[in-house]
Structure 1
Amino acid sequence: MSVIPAGVGWTALLTAYGRAQEALEAEPRFADACAADFVAAVAGARPAGGDPLPRLGPARDDGSSVLWESFRFCFTQRTLFYDRHVLRAVAAGCRQVVVLGAGLDCRAFRLGLPADVTVFEVDRAAVLDFKHEVLAKNGRVPTCRRVALAADVTGGLSGPLAAAGLDPAKPVLWVVEGLLMYFTADVADRVLTEVTSLSAPGSLIVSEYFVRSWENEDVGYDALDEQEKAAWHLLVGAFEYGPMDHKPGDWLASHHWTPDEVTTVAEEAREEGRAIPDVFGRPGANDLWLFTGTRVAD
């Protein structure tokens, strides 16, 4: 059995669990066969056909956890947003995609991206090693060129990406999923400044961060079981909330990006007619900004 790296690697596994659950729905909104591979690698076994996924920490495939169903809603709803914008950018001619803090993202495998697209997956070596082991064991093959790049997202991307073949003279799509909320505002600014320096006009970015900070009252903390409380503390304790004090359009504009689409997970679900968990749907609830931007000339 493989061991998932600690910290953000654990949240990557929870995202994969939510995506694996989506595949079990009668009418799944997206397919991610790799997600179940990661769950099986950590659980030690793959469930038989029709059986629920094994419980992993707060993740449970039986609908019994309000906390987990709220997490799952967020993970799956944002997946649809990112998928849509990756496919749109590639259809428009972008041939370089950089996934920062890639975790267990498998868009290079599951979106049918053409062979002339290069997806650079940037994360810590431990996460990428785990990912490689699981994908190789299950015979997963990307449809495009995939470059796994062990690098510190906050410690200088220019050198590693150049060495890996990124051409900053050509447009790039930057996918920054589930990452900015782990940075302070200063670090988030520094990362976007470097991303901007590597982005030719016409480059695109798709990302997210929370509307406000989380409080225990948001999730009915007293009613959580011990594993749920532990998971909640793990997540909230890691959040620095990034550029939360600014709306996405203002933050992007301050770094020479034109905001394109700015929405939230709740708004996306509302437009689809999807049920929204109380954690995100009741009056005064927190939400997750989802946004895109286009690089403009300085």
Structure 2
Amino acid sequence: MAGTTPQQSDVEGVDAGVGLTALLVAAARAIETHRHDSLAQDTYAEHFVRAAPACADWPVRVEQVPDGDDNPLWGRFARYFGLRTRVLDDFLLRSVAAGARQVVLLGAGLDTRAFRLDLPSDCVVFEIDRAGVLAFKQRVLTDRSAAPKVKRVPVPVDLRGDWSGTLTTLGFDAGAPSAWLAEGLLFYLPGPTETYLIDTVDRLTTAGSVLAFEAKLEEDLQAYRDSTTYTATREQIGIDLLHLFDSGPRPDSAGDLSARGWSTSMHTPFDFTRLHRRGPLPEPNDALEGNRWVFAHKPTP
């Protein structure tokens, strides 16, 4: 684009649509990082928020929110993202402790696990996302002189296309155990794209591999349109999550994996709120009621 500076070009990946939700999660992680009872630490998160004009005035500490934790967006919903970060951090750390040395982040967004988690030195983290998102992230990390703790391989492809060839070309070994995360991704994708993604993960994994992903069970997402979570997100920062979620029928990805021999378990976020004694609990007209966190393991035949 004529007249576009490198920084303007970089921010295009996260300045609107689903890309903007990556900044929402980054702001939530920043708020979580600064809590006295933090569940997860991401010291890079607030720098992503401050680097993007679309969210330069968003809070990065709960003390910057007039009503604090009573705010349905920057209180309860942000705490949800902090809890999700911790749960998936723990899942990943257990997976590499069990022998996986390849980590694949599907829709990596502004994930910094390669920089902040104590992963084994021989681990490789593949980050799959659109080129604009990865470029913005790299610029911010470079400005902070951030160095990954393990080998990190950006994979600039759109998950709505054929991404497996690029992943393997960049060094992913389908014959070695791997750990996969799809954090806050699948409900933005059309059902057939989700099915293709799950099929591809199954095809590219060997025994001992694991996958964690988030799903929504509601048949009618609009039933929760007036929930405080969605309303506050629309009104305070202009993100209509229900407009971004794909409205078509969702596949039963957990069931599909089970049918292929994977062992799966499904949990509500509230299960982990009770485990950690921090995070959201059920409330009336709750947009989080249908959210499920699925953990799958591909056993030895």
Q: Could you tell me the TM-score, scaled by structure 2's length?
A: 0.84
Q: How far apart are residue 45 of structure 1 and its match?
A: 7.3
1:195 is aligned, of 198, 201, 225, to: 201
Alignment-derived partner of residue 29 in structure 2: 19
Change (3 A) 1:241 1:226: closer
- Answering whether residue 300 of structure 2 is matched by residue 292 of structure 1, we say no
Q: How far apart are residue 71 of structure 1 and its match?
A: 2.4
Residue identity (%): 34
What SS is found at the alignment partner of 1:192? helix
**CA-atom RMSD, angstroms?**
3.1
Structure-to-structure mapping, 1:25-174, within 5 angstroms: 25-42=35-52, 52=63, 62-63=68-69, 65-174=71-180
Q: Counterpart amino acid of 1:178?
A: G
Question: Is 1:270–1:276's contact at 8 Å kept on the other side of the alignment?
Answer: no
Q: Distance in 2 between matches of 1:12 and 1:92?
A: 29
Question: Is 1:243–1:251's contact at 8 Å kept on the other side of the alignment?
Answer: no
What SS is found at the alignment partner of 1:33? coil
Q: Counterpart amino acid of 2:257?
A: L
Q: How far apart are residue 154 of structure 1 and its match?
A: 2.6
Q: How far apart are residue 61 of structure 1 and its match?
A: 8.4
Query: Can you list the C-alpha shifts for 1:33-81, whole angstroms capped at 9, x where unaligned?
Result: 110111121259799x98955x8xxxx8844632343321321111111
Q: How far apart are residue 27 of structure 1 and its match?
A: 2.5
Change (3 A) 1:154 1:19: same
Q: Counterpart amino acid of 2:256?
A: W
Q: Distance in 2 between matches of 1:237 and 1:91?
A: 39
Q: Distance in 2 between matches of 1:123 and 1:242?
A: 22
Q: How far apart are residue 5 of structure 1 and its match?
A: 3.5
- Answering whether residue 280 of structure 2 is matched by residue 276 of structure 1, we say yes
Change (3 A) 1:177 1:284: closer
Q: Distance in 2 between matches of 1:158 and 1:224?
A: 37
Question: Is 1:249–1:258's contact at 8 Å kept on the other side of the alignment?
Answer: no
Question: Is 1:15–1:72's contact at 8 Å kept on the other side of the alignment?
Answer: yes
2:267 is aligned, of 250, 263, 266, to: 263
Moved more, 197-206 or 72-81: 72-81
- Gaps in structure 1 of 5+ consecutive residues: none
Runs of 4+ in 1 over 6 A off after TM superposition: 44-47
Q: Distance in 2 between matches of 1:191 and 1:225?
A: 28
Alignment-derived partner of residue 253 in structure 1: 258
Q: Distance in 1 between matches of 2:272 and 2:299?
A: 26
Moved more, 78-87 or 283-292: 283-292
Q: Distance in 2 between matches of 1:218 and 1:143?
A: 43
Q: Distance in 2 between matches of 1:288 and 1:222?
A: 14
Query: Can you list the C-alpha shifts for 1:231-258, whole angstroms capped at 9, x where unaligned?
Result: 2x2x111112687463x64232134422
Question: Is 2:39–2:83's contact at 8 Å kept on the other side of the alignment?
Answer: no
What SS is found at the alignment partner of 1:281? coil
Q: Could you tell me the TM-score, scaled by structure 1's length?
A: 0.84
Q: Distance in 1 between matches of 2:61 and 2:181?
A: 33
Q: Distance in 1 between matches of 2:296 and 2:101?
A: 17
What SS is found at the alignment partner of 2:83? helix
Aligned pair count reads 286
Change (3 A) 1:209 1:221: closer
